[in-house]
Amino acid sequence: MQMNYIVLDLEWNQCPDGKAAENAQLRFEIIEIGAVKLDETLTLVDRFREVIKPQVYQDLHFKTKEIISLRAIDLENARSFPAVAKDFLDWCGKDAVFCTWGTADLTELQQNLAYHKMPSPFAFPLLYYDIQKIFSIVYEDRKSRRSLESAVDFLDIPKSVPFHSALSDAHYTSQIMQRLTPEQILANSSVDYYRTPKNRRQEIYLTYETYTKFISRPFRDKVQAMKDRTVISTPCCKCGINAQKRIRWFPVGGSNYFCLAHCEEHGYLKGKIRLRHQHDDLCYAIKTVKTITPEEAYAIREKKEVQKLKRRLRKKFSNDRTP
């Protein structure tokens, strides 16, 4: 069966009365789904667009009003999320490969499905293609993240429809994809973190051209996570051999850790761990290991010295304030 790319964009609303009044089970309620279907050669096949009648936050947040050009009558006459979502997922087909601009859309789609007690059609782990990230990998420095309109301007894509509607943003994302090759897209998948590994057996290992990524099982807290041998190991992203640490893991901020390692064959490696909390207050680790230059290795050494100095200053300030 032929694979299709589903280029997805969602618009959502949030509680108009502030965080204190929001529904903890659904912070962002989807009010529009737009998508473009491309075949394996990135040729346009079909389009999907439908507005959704809000059920949780029936009044639009002021920020939503500023960004999205939807009228109250459009929302009032729309169908419910379960009806629209079912038709959308049927339209996607069983062999759909999802593409988005940024990382949020698939997470919010799954959150809305769960809220409405609808079965999720997505495999675990859910791999997708973040075209914003891939644009940076192909055209820029791998780190920067342009807005959709800025990327459209960069590529001189004609602005035929307004931005900030679900279908128009999906259309522009598909136009950017058509300036890439299928090989460039397929070599750079992303992982959606709405569902994370529940145990050691489900832990995720991914290998890319310049780095590896690991997503761990849950831990009670960051102390337990940073004692786990798999979490703190530094296998070379090129050969897989466990590299010798030159600088052990050290914290930067509240939930990020860095280290410097060295592989005899492939040189310096930068390790980064991000610790994220789940809804049940457990945490999990996202670790990347990548090859770096000697200059970048020196920058990690400097970063550690800066963190040591900050800790000394905090300790001194705390002692000075003690009566």
**At a CB cut-off of 8 Å and minimum separation 6, what does 316 contact?**
none
Q: Which two tokens stand for residue 270?
A: 């930068």
The pTM is what?
A: 0.91
Instruction: Give me the pLDDT at residue 314, please.
Output: 76
With a cut of 80, say whether residue 176 has pLDDT above it.
Answer: yes
H-assigned helices in 15-142: 62-67, 72-76, 81-92, 105-115, 131-139
For residue 44, name the pLDDT band (cuts at 50, 70, 90): very high
Instruction: Give me the pLDDT at residue 273, please.
Output: 98
For residue 319, name the pLDDT band (cuts at 50, 70, 90): low
For residue 181, name the pLDDT band (cuts at 50, 70, 90): very high
Closest CA to 5 of 179, 87, 128: 128
With a cut of 70, say whether residue 317 has pLDDT above it.
Answer: no
Instruction: Give me the pLDDT at residue 75, please.
Output: 79
With a cut of 60, say whether residue 36 has pLDDT above it.
Answer: yes
Instruction: Give me the pLDDT at residue 321, please.
Output: 60
Instruction: Give me the pLDDT at residue 16, please.
Output: 87
Whole-number mean pLDDT of the chain? 93
Interatomic CA distance for residues 280 and 54, integer angstroms: 27
Mean pLDDT value of segment 186-199:
96
Domains delineated in the chain: 4-186 (3.30.420.10), 214-313 (no CATH)
